[in-house]
Amino acid sequence: MRIAINGMGRIGRLLCRRLIGLEGIELVAVNDLMDRDNLAYLLRHDSIYGTLETPLVYRNGTMTVGARNPAPAAGNETAPGMKGTKGTLAVFQQEDPLQLPWKELGVDVVLECTGKFSSKEGAGLHLRAGAKKVLLSTTGSEDIPLLIYGFNQHLLTPETDIISPGGCMTNCATHILYILQSIGIDSAHLNILHSYTSRQELVDAPHKQFRRGRAAAESIIPVEIDLPQSLERLFPLLKDRIAAVSTRVPVANGALADFTVLLKSPASAEAINSLFRTSSLNDYRGILACSDDPLVSLDIKGDTHSCIIDTALTSSIGDHVKIMVWFDNEFGYTSRILDWLYYWKKLLALP
C-alpha cells in the first residue's frame, strides 16, 4: 500500500515518523511548503517525542531513510540512530494538490493533513491528481463520510474515495458516549482540557476568537470547538443534548476529557467503571483502556489508545455521573489513522 502525506504539521510529521519502516505500508512522498532542510530537521528532532531513531537525510529532492550516507553536505547531516528501513521519499513543495504526481507514483492513499482541503471538492483534487483514496486528518465537511475507527468503520465500502476519521476529541468522545448509551443518555456536557495547539499564539496577538489570541503558555484558555456538531452526526438521537468546550492549558501535549452526563437511570461509579473495563477487554481492546493509577498528563505521552478512563475519578450522584478520560491528542489519534490504513488495505485486498 503506497502512501503520500500532504501537509507536514504536527500530525503529518508524526505520521511520517511512524510510517517509516512500517510493515505492509510504504510511504513514498510528502508535500509541504516549508523549506525542505527545515522539514528534515523537524522530522529528526521533535520536542515532544524526541530524536528520530532512524537515520534520515534530505538531498536533491528526496529524503533517504535508514541509510548512513558518507560525508553529507552541510545542513544535511544524518541524524543519529542505528535502525530503520532503507528507502527514499519524494519531497514536494506544491501548493496545488492537482499538480502533485500521485498517478506517476502509484499512490493508493493520500493522508490530507493540511486542514485546508477538508471539503469533498478540496480533497477530491488528490483523486484528480491520480490518488485512489484520501484520508483526512480532521473532521471534514458534511458531504464526506465521518467514520470513527472502532465505532462505525464497517460502513466503509471499497467504492468510498474520501473519508474523515474525525479528530482526536471526536475519537475520544464517540466511544465514551456509545458505551454509556447502554444505560441511556439524557444529556452530556464535555470539557476537553487540552494542550495548546498551533492555532493559538505564542504571545498576545489579534485573532477572530479573542481568547485564542492570548499567549498559549501563560493562561488557561477556553476556546470554541465544533465537537457537538460532529457528535450529533454520529448520534442523531442526541441532537441538542450535547454541549462542549475545550479548555487549553499550558502544556505541549496531552488531554483530559471531563464528561458530565445525565443518564436515563441511576448508575454507581463502580457499575460505570465495570462497563468500561469490560469494553476495554473486548470490542474496544486497543482503543479504550482503564487505569487505576493516579495519572497526570505526562504519563499518557505516547499512549496509543483514543481514551483512557481514570477509574479513581469516576463519580456518581444518582443518574448524574462524571467520567475523566485521558488521551494523547497526537499519538493516540495517529494510531487510529494507522488502523484505518490497515483496514482500508485489507478491504481493498492490496498486497
DSSP β-bridge partners for residue 324: 258
Helix extents (H) in the chain: 10-19, 36-44, 102-105, 120-128, 168-180, 227-234, 269-281, 331-347
- Provide the pairing of β-strand 255-263 with 320-327: antiparallel
State the catalytic residues: 168
227: cell is 465537537
The answer to whether 249 and 193 have CB atoms below 8 angstroms apart is yes
DSSP β-bridge partners for residue 222: 247
Which backbone phi and psi does 209 adopt, to 5 degrees? -100, 105
Neighbour-count burial of 318, counting CB atoms closer than 10 A to its CB (0-12 exposed, 13-18 middle, 19+ buried): exposed
Specify the DSSP class assigned to residue 292. -
The answer to whether 182 and 267 have CB atoms below 8 angstroms apart is no
Distance of CA 187 to the CA centre of its chain: 26
Euclidean distance between CA atoms 306 and 319, whole angstroms:
26
Taking CB atoms within 8 Å and a gap of at least 24, the contacts of 233-242 are 233/142, 233/146, 234/146, 234/148, 234/151, 234/152, 234/170, 234/174, 235/177, 235/178, 235/181, 238/177, 238/185, 238/188, 241/185, 241/186, 241/187, 241/188, 242/177, 242/187, 242/188, 242/189, 242/190
Torsion of CA 167, 337, 64, 125, to 10 degrees: -70
H or E element, residue 246:
strand 242-249
